[in-house]
Amino acid sequence: MEISIKNICCIGAGYVGGPTMAIIAERCPHIQVEVVDINEERIRDWNQEDFEKLPIYEPGLAEIVKKCRGKNLHFSNLVKEKIEEADMVFISVNTPTKKKGLGAGKASDLKWVEACARQVAKYSKEHTIVVEKSTLPVRTAEVIKSILNETKGTLVDTNIKKTFDVLSNPEFLSEGSAVKDLLQPDRVLIGGESKDAIQALNEIYLNWVPSEKILTTNVWSSELAKLTANAFLAQRISSINSISALCEETGADVREVARAIGSDSRIGEKFLNSGPGFGGSCFKKDILNLVYLSEHFGLPEVANLWNSVVTLNTWHQKRLATLITKKLFGTLSNKIIVILGFAFKANTNDTRESAAIKICKDLLDEGAILKIHDPKVSAMQIEKELNLSPYKSNESGKENFKEGSWNKIEDMKNIFNNADAVVILTEWEQYKNMNWIEISNKMRRPSWAFDVRSIVDPKEIINSGINFWRIGDGSQN
């Protein structure tokens, strides 16, 4: 039986739900797309008049929201009402690592997903296709199904049966390029049993995705493929970062090594940039989830392999903070360090699990005074991540900083005054071509620049008289 989708409800207006639904709305003007969330502030921000202030920054997203919002794209807290109207419900809520109880520190916390399943079970009408968009452990669809099936039955006042299909449709977008990734995905993955439900979701994607890029699998393969994709990507980052440490010791250059191995078509050139270690809300949590599943199914060797990817990442971030401290004569007490970039990568305002958090905390513990700049991350967000209030200016307007304190500086002109070091942590475009002679003149000597992203020309920095270190460059020892 052909199912035609007219009303979509997406539960969760976050980094995945917001952009994904904006693209569906834009590409499918015949479908009404309702994005609902329990977070009132987030929904208020999605409905902001000023499109620059949407809660999620992604290049190109504001323009799409502007085009569709109020027409076939709506953001609200009306969870019950919008589930009632929907033929298809996407579950796109957070699935963080469990903090306590069984599987704490590794397994995904499914309480938000379970809550959604219960809401769908309660409020939906007639036939509803439930789509898992969140990244979930293998066999979660079974949990959702059993909750839904408990309530399956006849609607009391209408004699109409409530029925459900559950599909897995994990999202592979990368923050910072979400719009491009959604418009031109490498693949769309749909896992499910019901041919009609798969076809209904397929029809939506076919509005802009070529059919050969839409893969269908069973539900379990689809769920596991998402975890595996993130584990493989993170593994490449840990692998190249491990080699960067070796390069620094041996006189090799990680960029040259990466180019040499990346031109092997079996390896490929992507995800071979050494940097401050992976961040973002997904990689660590998804690998830990894989570790938990492997342990659960009695496969400790598999668990150990993936766990080492996370261990290396943590070690690498610590290594960078230690290295900065050592270069600055082993003490950061009252030294001013400029941190360029706090987001976990460029083109996003997301700071979850950003390497900058760990590195900044370590530098603060050593007594440094941090002046942090990021074009898209607010001071409030940094305060939340560092769990420390910024220093304030005193009455005369002078900076009133003390050992182990930080502040966010908006104005790049004055940020370098009297600084002992500059650390580039996020690869924002504007950090790539700075005037290092001007910067050098403002800094205290001996001054240092640490390019953890390999985005500046070493010659320019060295010529400016600043001592220079960059990741994985063994020639500087």
Ligand X SMILES: NC(=O)c1ccc[n+]([C@@H]2O[C@H](COP(=O)([O-])OP(=O)(O)OC[C@H]3O[C@@H](n4cnc5c(N)ncnc54)[C@H](O)[C@@H]3O)[C@@H](O)[C@H]2O)c1
User: In the set 7, 39, 221, 228, which binds ligand X (CB under 6 A)?
Assistant: 39
The two three-digit tokens of residue 229, written as one number: 């994709």
Q: Are 325 and 251 in contact (CB under 8 A)?
A: no
User: In the set 94, 244, 289, 447, which binds ligand X (CB under 6 A)?
Assistant: 94
Beta strands of 60-150 (E only): which ranges?
Answer: 73-76, 88-91, 127-132
Count of positions on this chain that bind ligand X (CB under 6 A): 27
- CA dist., res. 461 & res. 466, Å (int): 6
Q: In the structure, how many helices (H) and strands (E) does the chain have?
A: 16, 15
Examine residue 115 and tell whether it contacts ligand X (CB under 6 A): yes
The half-sphere exposure of 403 on its side-chain side, counting CA atoms within 13 A, is 7
SS3 category, 250: helix
**Which is the catalytic residue, given 10, 116, 282, 360?**
282
- CA dist., res. 144 & res. 402, Å (int): 52
User: In the set 5, 10, 11, 377, which binds ligand X (CB under 6 A)?
Assistant: 11
- Residues 447 to 476 in contact with ligand X, rule: CB under 6 A: none
Examine residue 15 and tell whether it contacts ligand X (CB under 6 A): yes
- CA dist., res. 435 & res. 441, Å (int): 10
Q: Are 429 and 405 in contact (CB under 8 A)?
A: no
Examine residue 168 and tell whether it contacts ligand X (CB under 6 A): no
Examine residue 109 and tell whether it contacts ligand X (CB under 6 A): no
Burial class (CB in 10 A: 0-12, 13-18, 19+), 252: middle
- CA dist., res. 18 & res. 16, Å (int): 6
What is the nearest approach in angstroms of ligand X to the Cβ of residue 157? 26
Q: Which amino acid is it at 103?
A: G
Examine residue 93 and tell whether it contacts ligand X (CB under 6 A): yes
Examine residue 140 and tell whether it contacts ligand X (CB under 6 A): no
Toward ligand X, which CB reaches closer, 36 or 167?
Answer: 36
Examine residue 173 and tell whether it contacts ligand X (CB under 6 A): yes
What is the nearest approach in angstroms of ligand X to the Cβ of residue 394? 37
Examine residue 134 and tell whether it contacts ligand X (CB under 6 A): yes
Toward ligand X, which CB reaches closer, 42 or 470?
Answer: 42
- CA dist., res. 346 & res. 429, Å (int): 8
Toward ligand X, which CB reaches closer, 3 or 115?
Answer: 115
- Residues 71 to 90 in contact with ligand X, rule: CB under 6 A: 79
Which of these segments, 10-18, 66-74, 378-386, 445-453, binds ligand X (CB under 6 A)? 10-18
Pairing of strands 153-154, 161-168: antiparallel
User: In the set 10, 12, 23, 361, which binds ligand X (CB under 6 A)?
Assistant: 12
What is the nearest approach in angstroms of ligand X to the Cβ of residue 11? 5
Q: Please indicate whether residue 9 is annotated as part of the active site.
A: no
- CA dist., res. 82 & res. 11, Å (int): 9
Examine residue 106 and tell whether it contacts ligand X (CB under 6 A): no
Q: Which residues bind ligand X (CB under 6 A)?
A: 11-17, 36-39, 42, 79, 92-95, 112, 115-116, 134-135, 171, 173, 175, 281-282
So which residues are the catalytic ones?
282
